[in-house]
Amino acid sequence: MIRSEILKDIAPILRDQLVVCNIGIPSQELHAIDDQPTNFYMLGTMGLASSIGLGLALAQPKTVIAIDGDGSVLTNMGSLPTIANNVADNYILMIIDNGSYGSTGDQPTYAGKKTSLAKVAEACGCENVIECRDVDTGEVLQKAIDSGKMHVLVVKCDSGNAKMPVITMDPVVIRDRFMKAVSA
Amino acid sequence: MNIDKKIADDLVANDISFVTTVPCKQLAGVIEEVEARDEIFHIPSNKEDEGMGLCAGAWMGGKRPAIIMQNTAIGVTINTLATLIQYYRMPLPMLISYRGELREPVACQVEMAVHTKALLAQMNIPTYHFHKQSDVEELDMILKYTFMCNKPVAILTDANFWGGYGDQ
Ligand SMILES: [Mg+2]
């Protein structure tokens, strides 16, 4: 499966949760598949989805799912120790690991070579780190939500992108709509 | 006047309850004070752009954030300031240790000091420079201004403000 197929698969689960979605094609895909006020789309700033998600989870009680990518986690790897040492049990970091920089033309990342992001997360001190297959994403994600424990999920999947339109919504509109959903 | 306590008092009085820090020798006292306050959740970050991500999330979650960092990090955070904090119009008080100014003992610090105000000006970031201890009296107003206009605002605090480096 490629990322867009996974997102289609888990859209019914994501719909009821606060979602912080990674920059580029991941946000475009999620936006096209199932746009919700509970989705925060990153239009810039590669790498910070996991940090924004953690800050949001620490600040309020609703479940937060950050949809990140392998390339983005590699660019902000310092986020993992911060996550490990500031446990928010309403936080799930879901890394869609397709072993490539999808938004820039599928160049390979080191996560698709020797580097295991699940092992990195564990070495950083993260608990409940689960590496799973693309087809099991929905089941693993739902279990993580139901557990009420912070999780780091590493979803191994194929490289590739769906052709989706660029998000043209104004960033302040995205943010304002999202904040209203957070506080609703 | 204990400026570390005064700064933490102003943060608390302005309902700032989520503070991320990347340390600097000059900031050690205020970081300790922030850590000690029950009203503030203190979360150290490993890099300043990561810290700004944390602050963005906390603000969208209903908490008022602040970041405490060194001016060298302006070089690290330009993209985050432009495409996250400013683009989504978020408030962010940045209490910045202004290394490389008068009474600085480490020459290399001057290399980023000479770019600091120019970069902040280029970014249209409101910037205040605390040089004397009494300048801290404006902090309360600066914090109110930040959350009024939903912008990143820089407070540069130099060595003279902190009372020099002692024997370093
Ligand atoms: Mg990828």
pLDDT at B61: 98
Where residue B1 falls among pLDDT bands split at 50, 70, 90?
A: confident
How many domains is chain A built from? 1
Whether B57 sits inside 8 A of A171 (CB atoms) is: no
The per-residue pLDDT of chain B, averaged, comes to: 96
pTM of the predicted protein model? 0.97
pLDDT at A159: 96
pLDDT at B165: 64
State the DSSP code for B89.
T
Q: If you average pLDDT over residues B98-116, what whole number do you get?
A: 95
CATH number at residue A126: 3.40.50.970
With an 8 Å Cβ cutoff, is A168 touching chain B?
no
pLDDT at B168: 44
Residues of A104-134 as b/e, b for ≥16 C-beta within 10 angstroms? eeeeebebbeeeebbebbbebebebbbbbeb
With an 8 Å Cβ cutoff, is B63 touching chain A?
yes
Predicted ipTM beyond 0.85: yes
With an 8 Å Cβ cutoff, is B43 touching chain A?
yes
- How far, in Å, from the CA of A38 to the mean position of ligand 1? 23
Say if residues B43 and A86 touch (Cβ distance below 8 Å).
yes
With an 8 Å Cβ cutoff, is A58 touching chain B?
yes
pLDDT at B164: 74
Domains of chain B: 3-162 (3.40.50.970)
| pLDDT over 90 at B167, yes or no | no
Give the domain extent around A9: 3-183
Of A44, A54, A60, the CB nearest to B87: A44
Of A59, A76, A172, the CB nearest to B50: A76
Please say whether the dihedral angle defined by the alpha carbons of residues B157, B160, B162 and B164, taken in this order, is positive or negative. Answer: positive
